[in-house]
Amino acid sequence: MRRMLSPMSKRRYFGTDGIRGRVGEHPITPEFALALGRAIGASLPRASSVVIGKDTRSSGYLLESALEAGLSASGVNSILVGPLPTPAIALVTRSLGASAGIVISASHNPFEDNGIKLFSSLGEKLDDELELAIEARIDRAVPMVGAADLGRARRHERASEDYLAFLLSMALPGLAAKQHTLLIDAAHGAGYRVAPMLFQRLGFHVRAIGVEPNGLNINAGVGATDLTALKSEHGRSPALAFALDGDGDRLQAITETGRVVDGDDLIYLLALHWKNTGRLKGPVIGTVMSNLGIERALETAGIEFARAAVGDRYVHQMLRETGGTLGGEASGHVLCLDYAPTGDGLLTAVLVLNALTESGRSLDDWLSGLSRFPQRTINVRLPSRDPTLLARETVIAARTAAEKALGTQGRLILRASGTEPLIRVTVEALSDELIAAAIEPLAKAVRDAANA
């Protein structure tokens, strides 16, 4: 197995998926967004253009205005596209020849949170070195340009149509012929308009939920991280169903028979179909969280599998390093680098539909022989981020005991979330009983240490 890429620990503000936090608390404040805008602008050539998009959170307007002002103060122009999925911002950034793209979103988090993530001119997430360079400028007094050199702002009205045109160009003819109805859950998020439009234009009869954002209901009981509403709708009238998260870069699915399908399953399907049709390149890249059953099934099929650190940015880096084009996370981030430089929930849905159409097989059929290891995660919420918690003696002792209990019959992952003040305790093993014996004492030790 290839080495696992690890995130850098020197960053002060950027996590695994941009800068994220509670609105009104540092760093998700208008003051910080203004300073960040000036730092980004100071890192770019004068008179450059930066695309700014967002999801449907009410706080997006506040952060958008502050970022725009900061960019203008550094002599950089803003191109505003409004609410659109994160991958659409990456696409528009690249197609317009902008120097960078900014997405204002906290992805799957509740509306009280928000975040800011950056794309390069190629529509790819910034590497660690560039993020560190921007961070170095945030706390410095970046001089303002003269009045004649201030950046300007304009709206790009065709951004959603450009994104839809790209997605439609990826679809094979006749996708709706076999299964005419699709259920869509857009999480009251950034895909609330384009998701139903895409599948309607492909010829499907679309039943959509999560398409009525009010600024406060994003991800609330809907979307890829909470399938409650979609399962209920599926129960009333079963059909193939897709769920996006709040910013539209994740995808989960439910088959016609009600089987929940995560990112690991989707990667498995695409890997096998592309291998069968001669389109798979390089190894498939997962993360330390990818199910061991997926790894073994791919290896049985003669497909090399490697693991990166958690975060689609690290999956992307390892794909580039190894020459692979397919990878992602169980959460539903799926990277298909032959088609796009970043994870895209709607593109993934189109590629899955393509595979079903080409193969003549249903999603249930594709996954019928897949055997996954039981896996359980307990999220321990922290009063605040504490980088020393996992190094405490009580936590180390509990981890050692859990690993001993698992022996060779399982594995555990203990890590701090890069997007929330959480410690994620994950155990994967041959049985639920073995998981419980290992995970519960370990989670208790982490919780006790956090509250000490």
Q: What DSSP line would sit under 72-83, residue for residue? A: HHTT-EEEEEEE
148 inside domain = yes
10 inside domain = no
Residues 139 and 46 in one domain: yes
Strand pairing class (251-254; 240-244):
antiparallel
**Residue 441's pLDDT band (boundaries 50, 70, 90)?**
very high
- Out of 59, 105, 107, 160, the active site residue is 107
Q: State the CATH number of the domain containing residue 213.
A: 3.40.120.10
Q: Average pLDDT, stretch 337-355? A: 96
pLDDT value at 21 more than 70: yes
pLDDT value at 5 more than 50: no
31 inside domain = yes
Which of residues 130, 160, 190 is at a domain's end?
Answer: 160
Range of the domain at 419: 375-451
* The pLDDT value given to residue 10: 62
Q: Sign of the CA dihedral 106, 91, 15, 59?
A: negative
**Look-up of token digits 């003819």:** 173
13 inside domain = no
Using alpha carbons, list the distances in angstroms from residue 285 to 270, 290, 310: 13, 9, 11
**Look-up of token digits 């928000």:** 114
9 inside domain = no
Q: Which of 128-137, 189-198, 238-247, 363-372 has the lowest mean pLDDT?
A: 128-137
* The pLDDT value given to residue 141: 77
Residues 242 and 284 in one domain: no
Residues 145 and 187 in one domain: no
253 inside domain = no
**Residue 364's pLDDT band (boundaries 50, 70, 90)?**
very high
Q: State the CATH number of the domain containing residue 413.
A: 3.30.310.50
166 inside domain = no
The structural domain count of the chain equals 4
Residues 154 and 102 in one domain: yes
* The pLDDT value given to residue 2: 43
173 inside domain = no
**Sequence-ordered list of residues with C-beta below 8 angstroms from that of 52, at least 6 positions apart, any chain:** 64, 67, 68, 78, 79, 80, 81, 101, 102, 104
Count Cβ atoms below 10 Å from residue 390 Cβ, excluding itself: 15
pLDDT value at 78 more than 60: yes
Average pLDDT, the chain: 93
Q: Is 58 a catalytic residue?
A: no
List the helix and strand counts (H, then E) for the chain.
Answer: 14, 18
Residues 61 and 152 in one domain: yes
Q: Is 166 helix (H, G, I), strand (E, B) or coil?
A: helix
Q: Average pLDDT, stretch 88-117? A: 96
Summarised one tens digit per residue, pLDDT across range 190-237 is 999 999 999 999 999 999 999 999 999 999 999 999 999 999 999 999
Q: Average pLDDT, stretch 107-117? A: 95
Residues 36 and 90 in one domain: yes
Contact in structure between 192 and 56 (CB atoms under 8 Å) = yes
* The pLDDT value given to residue 16: 72
Residues 302 and 328 in one domain: yes
Q: Which of 102-111, 337-346, 406-415 has the lowest mean pLDDT?
A: 406-415
Residues 265 and 235 in one domain: no
**Residue 435's pLDDT band (boundaries 50, 70, 90)?**
very high
Q: Average pLDDT, stretch 22-35? A: 97
Residues 291 and 398 in one domain: no
Q: Which of 125-134, 343-352, 439-448 has the lowest mean pLDDT?
A: 125-134
Short-list 79, 60, 50, 61, CA closest to 154: 79
Q: Which of 22-36, 130-144, 275-289, 329-343 has the lowest mean pLDDT?
A: 130-144
Residues 228 and 130 in one domain: no
Q: Average pLDDT, stretch 181-193? A: 98
pLDDT value at 22 more than 90: yes
Residues 118 and 39 in one domain: yes
Contact in structure between 17 and 416 (CB atoms under 8 Å) = no
Residues 154 and 26 in one domain: yes
